[in-house]
Amino acid sequence: MRSTILTRIINSAIWIVSGIVVIIVRVFVAQGGSVLLWETIGGGMIAYGALRLVWALFRTSSTSATSI
Dihedral sign of CA atoms 28, 33, 38, 39 in order = positive
Low-confidence stretches of the chain (pLDDT beneath 50)? 68
Helices (H), 1-68: 2-28, 35-66
Question: Tell me, what's the pLDDT at 57?
Answer: 85
Separation between Cα atoms, residue 4 and residue 63, nearest integer Å: 13
- Report the length, in residues, of the chain: 68
Question: Tell me, what's the pLDDT at 50?
Answer: 95
Per the structure, the count of domains in the chain is 1
Separation between Cα atoms, residue 25 and residue 5, nearest integer Å: 30
| Entry pTM | 0.75
Name the residue range of residue 15's domain.
2-57
10 inside domain: yes
Question: Tell me, what's the pLDDT at 58?
Answer: 85
11 inside domain: yes
Question: Tell me, what's the pLDDT at 27?
Answer: 80
Separation between Cα atoms, residue 36 and residue 29, nearest integer Å: 14
